[in-house]
Structure 1
């Protein structure tokens, strides 16, 4: 597992389902994908109330993408997370 350092947060982007209720696959061309993710781990120096399994909205082009064991993650600065679902 990856443990972020300092004020960084490890998140995993939510994958949006591209099917209708009846099973029709929808095209993803020019479709905006929301920047919603789940928190996997939080650095020791983070001052926000973020914790594991929180659902958050983050700035779209921020963070560093990493792949570990065929899983895609983003290591992002705590300040680039702009909202948390409650």
Structure 2
């Protein structure tokens, strides 16, 4: 299913990786204590700025800052919209 969100300029839409459900030792983590994931997959990319073309593409696995982006819910799924400059690395 294609995502019907088209980011503008240097923005990207990212589907965040799921939060950890349990620790390495097997203890389950409650929803209130789960850490916000800092990685995800790019699902939509803007056209970039006139003098700055986009360097990430749809399908790239990326790492981003803990407090980066704006959370949105679209058709029951959660996404982040952020500037490309908020992405630290492509995995």
* TM-score normalized with structure 1 length: 0.80
Structure 1 residues not aligned, in runs of 5+: none
The 1:70–1:4 alpha-carbon spacing in structure 2 relative to 1, beyond 3 Å, is: same
Q: Show CA shifts across 1:19-72 (max 9, x none).
A: 58xxx6722565544400100011001624211111000011121111011110
CA-atom RMSD in angstroms:
2.3
Alignment-derived partner of residue 27 in structure 1: 29
* TM-score normalized with structure 2 length: 0.76
Question: In structure 2, the residue corresponding to 1:53 is in which secondary structure?
Answer: coil
Alignment-derived partner of residue 38 in structure 1: 41
Ranges of 4+ aligned residues in structure 1 off by more than 6 Å: none
The 1:9–1:33 alpha-carbon spacing in structure 2 relative to 1, beyond 3 Å, is: same
Structure 2 residues not aligned, in runs of 5+: none
Task: Decide which moves more: 69-78 or 41-50.
Answer: 41-50
Q: Which of 3, 8, 32 is residue 5 of structure 1 equivalent to?
A: 8
Count of residue pairs brought into register by the alignment? 83
